[in-house]
Structure 1
Amino acid sequence: MLNTSNNNTRKMIVIHGGHFSSLAGFYEEISSVMMKNADWKVGTLDGFDDILYGGFGVFENKEEIEIIWKESQKSKENLGFNATREFYENKIRQGKPFNIELIQQKLNDLLEGKGQTLFDILMEIIESHTNITLTLE
């Protein structure tokens, strides 16, 4: 594992794409590597975003982190078009408390080839945290 950073204080977290093939599996993987001693698990996109702020998992608030996502191409496929369509369709079927109009629009965008996949959404969430460096392998 190469750490190309000169900053040796950066904490490294490894996500193994080989360990999961669904969003639920991703949450399990994230919970096991980032929430080792916490008494709750990640189960939503918002929850994933929340733990990236730090302070209640394996790293502190604003701590410099490097996430290495192994087998990211497999994850990109697993969390691609089909998984995303299913994700939105399930929310629409559930109805409240979800904003059905917004979700339907996101589904329509996806079907038209201009929407984000779950993988894209996860990338965007990670990249929104300036203290986190992401390396896809």
Structure 2
Amino acid sequence: MVPVNPDVTRFLHDGRLLAMPRRWEHRRVVARWLAHATLPDLLEPLGERELTDRLSELAADPVGARRAMVDLGAVHRTRDGAEYWRTELTEYDELVPDDAVEDATTSEGLHRTLHLDGRRIESVATFYDELDRVFMAGEDRRLRPGLDALDDLLRGGFGAAHGADRVTVVWHAFDRSRDALGFAATREHYLAMLADPRFDAALFRGRLADLEAGRGPTYAELVLEVFADHPGVELLLR
């Protein structure tokens, strides 16, 4: 049995959920617990009947609990409701799986999940080192650091995203990465671009001025914008 945190225990009677709580934040906590307890392996699909059977051991209304898990985003399902899988890490999961790349086959095809470890990211340069570690393992080349390279990578023409029908990128310890790719790192990056004659000095001078004036985005924000330009790539920030 998965350990239960106090926020869930208050809604259980003899270890069973009699009814979903009314408040959204409480329903969310309970849904995350149910999702991990019944679908312990991230992205591993499970049939509707088996999931309902597992939920019946934990909840008085397994069908309602199953519906709540989907409505609250803790579990996803195929359009016909035949298969369910968990896409969200919870407090019951280890922070970062041992494998940076995980594959799962569903009725919709190959779903590949890539895990970025934010604890490895300390600068713009180490961000691309982490992308190389996760996306380019086994490849005979490395990414050329830059947002254009990230954009190309997410298109799936090469690297770990290539050949997958669905791609999910789970960015663990994102808050730490956001700080590492914040104002100081962005400024340092722009100064390095200005010192390199291969790059457009006027362009990066303008970006640096905007950053220092509080108008320009940080590198972390620029990276998120690139991900947002690829709706086929699901980004989960943890």
TM-score by length of 2: 0.53
Unaligned 5+ segments in structure 1 are none
Distance 1:133 1:5 in 2: 13
- Do the aligned partners of 1:35 and 1:41 also contact (CA within 8 Å) in 2? yes
Given the alignment of the two structures, is residue 43 of structure 1 paired with residue 144 of structure 2, yes or no?
yes
Amino acid at match of 2:141: W
Runs of at least 4 residues off by over 4 Å: none
Matched residue SS, 2:144 = coil
Q: 123-132 or 72-81, which moves further after superposition?
A: 123-132
Distance 2:125 2:76 in 1: 31
2:76 aligns with 5
Check whether the contact 2:124–2:186 (CA below 8 A) recurs between aligned residues.
no
1:15 paired residue number = 116
2:129 to 28, 40, 43: 28
Residue identity matched to 2:158:
F
Unaligned runs of 5+ in 2: 1-40, 44-74, 79-105
Corresponding residue of 1:106: 207
Between the aligned partners of 2:169 and 2:184, the Cα distance in structure 1 is 25
What is the CA distance between 1:11 and its match in structure 2?
1.4
**C-alpha spacing 1:25/1:5, structure 2 compared with 1 (3 Å):** farther
Q: 2:186 aligns with which of 84, 88, 96?
A: 84
Q: CA RMSD in A?
A: 1.8
* Pair member with larger Rg: 2
- TM-score w.r.t. length of structure 1: 0.89
Partner residue of 2:102? none
Which protein, 1 or 2, shows the higher relative CO under an 8 Å CA cutoff with sep ≥ 6? 1
Say whether the 8 Å CA contact 1:17–1:70 is kept in structure 2.
yes
SS at structure 2 position matched to 1:10: strand
| Structure 2 match to 1:56 | 158
